[in-house]
Structure 1
Amino acid sequence: MKLLQLYYFKALAEREHLTATAAELYISPPSLSAAISRLETDLGVPLFDRVGRNIRLNDKGRQFYDHVKLALDELDKGFDELQSTAAWNRNLSLRVATSTHIIWEKPFADYICKHPHVAFSHRSLSLDQLLDSAETSPYDFIITHFTDLPSAEYDSRVLIPDDCPGLIVWQHHPFASLDRISLAQAKDEPFVALSKGFSMRKYFDLLCKKAGFQPKVVAEADYSLRARLVKNEYGIALSTRTGAESIYLSGLKFIPLSEPVDTRVQTLFWRKDRKLSPQAEVFRDFLTEYFASPAAEALNPSI
């Protein structure tokens, strides 16, 4: 019994028409008939009833068909999976979008250095872009605060569950000697805020509202200009503990907030309707382990 005979049998059992099945298989009717006859000889039972020019699957044939279909369907499924994996391996790419890029520069760099064969691309997205499926569709993963994306459309994994907020001040600011501070204590301070549209700006506005004041925003900027303005003592800013560890904010003092205590939940998202490639699964596990490591916990202690 040969595999090709089983494929011929399955096709003929489903069509019950010798000439049409032979044409579908690109062989001659006599060749198909001979292949089925050899299969029946090997099995020791007839699988079809032949009445004149008509052919019909009999009881033994139907019984055998159930097993053949199951086996061949599994083989086809395995073939498709291997073909899909091979296609992924021929085009090793990974596309990631974030809403707060300063947190992810070091882990992304570590990943790229450990997986130089993967073509890695990254882009920062605004809140409006996060809610636009045309903008998010090209990406394997999106990393942002857990409330920024519609959870019904995505699977997710929390990377940093308790990224605590705090003030960023220069070393000689009057707040710099404090170990902890209430945001309300800073209500009269000049703030350098991120521009509207950043996820972190939404978080800043929310915390100020919970603290009961309208912040005095003296400048709106991106991450790098915000850091430069604080270093130039133009105003203070709000960040999270993980953000404060970035190279942008090096040399500045981070003071954790005692209240409000709402923490940022940094979350890895991927679409539910899309199968992850092998390299995407490796990246997901890499980030999970990265932020579960003792070194990461030292940077981001729970409060």
Structure 2
Amino acid sequence: MNLKHLQYFRVLASLEHYTRAANQLYITQPSLTYAISELEKELETHLFEKQGRNVYLTKYGRFFLTYVDTALNELDKGIKELRELTSPYNGTIDFAFIYTLSPHFVPTMIQTFSTEEGNKNILFSFNQGNTKNIIQGLKDEKFDLAFCSFAEDEPDIDFLPLVQQELVIIVPYGHPLANHDYVDLKDTVNFPFVFFNKQSGIRPLIDSLFTKVGIKPKIVCEVEEDNAVAGLVSINYGIAIIPRIWLLNHFNVKILSIRSPLHQRFIYIASMKNKYLSRSVHRFRDFAIKYSKVHSLTKGNHI
């Protein structure tokens, strides 16, 4: 069924006059007559009857008009809302990020973004998780963008390095290593570790560090997120390798820089390749890249 024919039908039903309806629609009267004729043929009924110069709806036309009005009104509503969603200045961004970024980095970024001209009507739906779950969420189209670790063997995901992040060792105060500010990883061989679990995006990097120095860590437990790691270390349950993050300032732990082995840890902005992203999502993505260049995650500028 031709959408324009339905729109022509509604206008003619309102004006009850072919010439006036054609003028309002900016088409010729024969074109309007043909469109209504084709619609009546498809429906196998008469929608209008003539009375002098005017036309009037038949009872079947009146019946059909209620459904046409509902359908076209809903369509107009959908078009309006879709334009708002895809506008660079409106819409909701489904955004996911790893736990590391939730206490400080992401809230500060969002606050800065929202105060810039043209961004106040852009809303966010926030989700947190580990990298594995976030990547699956991107594939399932639950998220538009994500901040996460790099994941191997994900050819459908576009990973762009966003910020570099330092890894440190944390120990409870009173621990034998707490007298130091720097440490070689090999010097931790005799101490038990609280580890991130294998679902965490940072776990492969931590494993590779121990492989480089040729030692096998004593893992007493594995957890999913940073608060749990820092909390367990603070009660002397073990020591841990963790990103140098803002929340560590709120735990009773000593932060030690890793002198050896050398390493690089990046947070990535991730999205599905060859998938449409709305203009507001592109707007935030561009902002995040520029923001992160200024707020790089160095020793003096933590997440």
Note whether the superposition's TM-score is higher than 0.5: yes
Q: Is the 8 A contact 1:144 1:266 kept in 2?
A: yes
Q: Secondary structure of the equivalent of 2:262?
A: coil
Q: Is the 8 A contact 2:138 2:271 kept in 1?
A: no
What's 1:103 paired with? 101
Q: Is the 8 A contact 2:209 2:261 kept in 1?
A: yes
| Structure 1 gap ranges (5+) | 1-24, 33-81
Q: Is the 8 A contact 2:180 2:256 kept in 1?
A: yes
Q: Give the aligned residue type for 2:285.
A: R
Tell me, in whole angstroms, the C-alpha distance in 2 between the residues paired with 1:265 and 1:120: 24
Structure 1 range deviating more: 171-180 or 120-129: 120-129
The structure whose residues are more often helix, as a share, is 1
- Asked if 1:157 is matched to 2:160, the reply is yes
What's 2:234 paired with? 231
CA deviations on 1:236-266 (whole Å, 9 max, x unpaired) are 110123x3x2357644222121222221121
Q: Is the 8 A contact 1:290 1:296 kept in 2?
A: no
**Structure 1 residue 269: deviation in Å?**
1.4
Tell me, in whole angstroms, the C-alpha distance in 2 between the residues paired with 1:145 and 1:214: 23
Q: Is the 8 A contact 1:140 1:276 kept in 2?
A: yes
**Structure 1 residue 268: deviation in Å?**
0.5
Please report the TM-score for the alignment, with normalisation by the length of structure 1.
0.62
Q: Secondary structure of the equivalent of 1:262?
A: coil
Tell me, in whole angstroms, the C-alpha distance in 2 between the residues paired with 1:247 and 1:279: 33
**Structure 1 residue 113: deviation in Å?**
3.4
Q: Is the 8 A contact 1:142 1:268 kept in 2?
A: yes
Runs (4+) of structure 1 exceeding 6 A deviation are: none
Cα distance change of structure 1 residues 298 and 286 upon mapping to structure 2, 3 Å threshold = farther
CA deviations on 1:74-98 (whole Å, 9 max, x unpaired) are xxxxxxxx99654424962111223
Q: Is the 8 A contact 1:88 1:277 kept in 2?
A: yes
Q: Give the aligned residue type for 1:95.
A: D
- Asked if 1:200 is matched to 2:202, the reply is yes
Tell me, in whole angstroms, the C-alpha distance in 1 between the residues paired with 2:296 and 2:270: 24
Q: Secondary structure of the equivalent of 1:279?
A: helix
Q: Is the 8 A contact 1:129 1:136 kept in 2?
A: no
Q: Give the aligned residue type for 2:160.
A: R
**Structure 1 residue 213: deviation in Å?**
1.6
Tell me, in whole angstroms, the C-alpha distance in 1 between the residues paired with 2:101 and 2:85: 32
| Structure 2 gap ranges (5+) | 1-25, 34-79, 115-119
Q: Secondary structure of the equivalent of 1:199?
A: coil
Q: Give the aligned residue type for 1:269.
A: A
Q: Within 5 Å, which residues of 2 pair with 1:21-170?
A: 29=30, 85-89=83-87, 92-98=91-97, 100-114=98-112, 115=114, 117-130=121-134, 132=136, 136-148=140-152, 150=154, 152-161=155-164, 163-170=165-172
What's 1:293 paired with? 294
What's 1:52 paired with? none
Q: Is the 8 A contact 1:130 1:148 kept in 2?
A: no
Please report the TM-score for the alignment, with normalisation by the length of structure 2.
0.62
Alignment RMSD (CA, Å): 3.6
Q: Is the 8 A contact 2:138 2:144 kept in 1?
A: no
Q: Share of identical aligned residues, percent?
A: 22
What's 2:271 paired with? 270
Q: Give the aligned residue type for 1:288.
A: I
**Aligned pairs, number:** 226
What's 1:185 paired with? 187
Q: Give the aligned residue type for 1:264.
A: R
**Structure 1 residue 214: deviation in Å?**
1.6
Tell me, in whole angstroms, the C-alpha distance in 2 between the residues paired with 1:172 and 1:196: 29
Q: Give the aligned residue type for 1:284.
A: R
Q: Secondary structure of the equivalent of 2:104?
A: helix
Cα distance change of structure 1 residues 87 and 128 upon mapping to structure 2, 3 Å threshold = closer
CA deviations on 1:125-174 (whole Å, 9 max, x unpaired) are 44543554675522111222234462x4233432113x232211123322
What's 1:213 paired with? 215
